[in-house]
Structure 1
Amino acid sequence: MKWDMIQRVIDGGKHDWVWWIDFDTLFTNTTTRVEDIIHDSLSNVTAPEEIDVLLTDDWCVLSSSSDRDESMRDYLKLEGPLTKHAMRISQYKINAFPEEILCNDNLSKSWQKAMFVIHFAGAWAHVKEKDPTGFLMRKYEREIIWDTK
Structure 2
Amino acid sequence: MLRLLAEEHRTSTAGKLAEGHGIGATVEELLRLQSGLTGEPFPRFAQADLDLAGAAIRAGDLVLVRLEAAHRDPRHFDRPDTFLPERRSSPLLVFGHGIHYCLGAPLARLEMAAALGALARRLPGLRLDGKPEEVVWERDGLDLGPSALHVTW
Of structures 1 and 2, the larger Rg is shown by 2
TM-score (norm 2): 0.22
Structure number having the greater strand percentage: 2
